[in-house]
Amino acid sequence: MGQIANILDATVAPPAMLPSSTPRARQESLLTRLVPGSSRISADHRLCDRLREWFTVEGVRSLSSSLCTTVVTAVVLHYSHSNVPNSLLLVAGFATFCALAGGRRILTAIVGRLNEPRNVLVVGSGAASQRIISAVRRHPGSGRSIKQALSVSQFQEICDARRFSTFVREEFIDEVIIATPGLDLAAVIGEARHQRLDVTVVPEALGLSAAEQIAIENDEETTLLSVRKESVPSIKLSAKRALDVLLSGIGLAALLPLLMMIGIIVRLDSSGPALYRSFRVGCKRRRFLCYKFRTMGLNADFAKEGLRWRNERVGAFFKIEDDPRITHVGKFLRRYSLDELPQLWNVLVGEMSLVGPRPHPPDDINLYRIQDLQRLDFMPGITGLWQVTARQDPSFDTSVALDVEYIKGWSLWLDFQILYRTIGVVVRGSGS
- Domain coordinates of the chain in residue numbers? 43-113, 116-232, 235-428
Query: Class assignment of domain 116-232?
Result: alpha beta
What does the pLDDT read at residue 345?
A: 96
Q: What is the pLDDT of residue 246?
A: 95
Using DSSP bridges, classify how beta strands 198-201 and 175-178 pair: parallel, antiparallel or unpaired. Answer: parallel
Length of the chain: 432
Separation between Cα atoms, residue 74 and residue 90, nearest integer Å: 10
Q: What pLDDT was estimated at residue 249?
A: 95
Q: Which residues contact 301 (CB under 8 A, 6 or more apart)?
A: 278
pLDDT value, residue 195: 86
pLDDT at res. 383? 94
What is the pLDDT, as a whole number, of residue 379?
A: 94
Instruction: Mark the ranges of the chain whose per-residue pLDDT is less than 70.
Output: 1-67, 70, 74-90, 92-93, 97, 101, 104-105, 107-115, 141, 208-214, 300-319, 321-322, 430-432
Q: Which residue, among 376, 341, 118, has the nearest Cα to 248 in the 3D structure?
A: 341
Give the global pTM.
Answer: 0.63
